[in-house]
């Protein structure tokens, strides 16, 4: 079974802090994704990566950056946290097969509060 592990379930930080959210997958998936989930807005794509050191902006990348130094690990970075980044953050991964989309598997999420 696919295992996507996010380092923290709950996190509280202060405005202006640099925040790191970590995600690890154990299935050797090529693709990894970061979404945020807000009530009434569904899930929105922040960034994704299809290979080590590769990254692509999603729909709402402003205020975020990402790092993928190893295939199994994908980090989301809030450069200078603001209160409007209080949200649930979900990591997902999928494998690439014959250039066709494959199901994404999600982690349990990190509920981040910025005070």
Q: Which residues of the shown chain bind other proteins in the complex (CB under 8 A)? A: 30-31, 33, 35, 40-45, 48, 50-51, 54, 56, 58-59, 90, 94, 96, 99-101, 103-109
Choice between 81 and 109, CB closer to other proteins: 109
**Minimum distance between the CB of residue 19 and other proteins, rounded to whole angstroms?**
21
> Residue 83 and residue 92: Cα distance in Å, rounded?
24
CB 78 within 8 A of CB 63: yes
Phi, psi of 52 (to 5 degrees): -55, 135
Tell me how long the chain is: 115
- Report the nearest approach of other proteins to the CB of residue 27 (Å): 14
CB of 100 to other proteins, least distance (A): 8
Phi, psi (degrees; rounded to nearest 5) at 84: -75, 0
Pick 87 or 107: Cβ nearer other proteins: 107
């Amino acid at each position: 079974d696919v295992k996507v592990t996010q380092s923290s379930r709950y996190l509280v930080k202060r405005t202006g802090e640099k925040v790191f959210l970590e995600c690890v997958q154990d299935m050797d998936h090529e693709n990894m994704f970061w979404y945020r989930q807000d009530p009434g807005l569904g899930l929105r794509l922040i960034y994704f990566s299809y290979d080590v050191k590769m990254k692509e902006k999603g729909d709402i990348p402003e205020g975020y950056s990402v790092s993928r130094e190893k295939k199994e690990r994908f980090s989301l970075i809030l450069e200078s946290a603001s209160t409007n980044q209080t949200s649930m953050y979900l990591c997902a991964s999928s494998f690439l097969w014959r250039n066709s989309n494959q199901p994404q598997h999600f982690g349990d999420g990190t509920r981040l509060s910025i005070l």
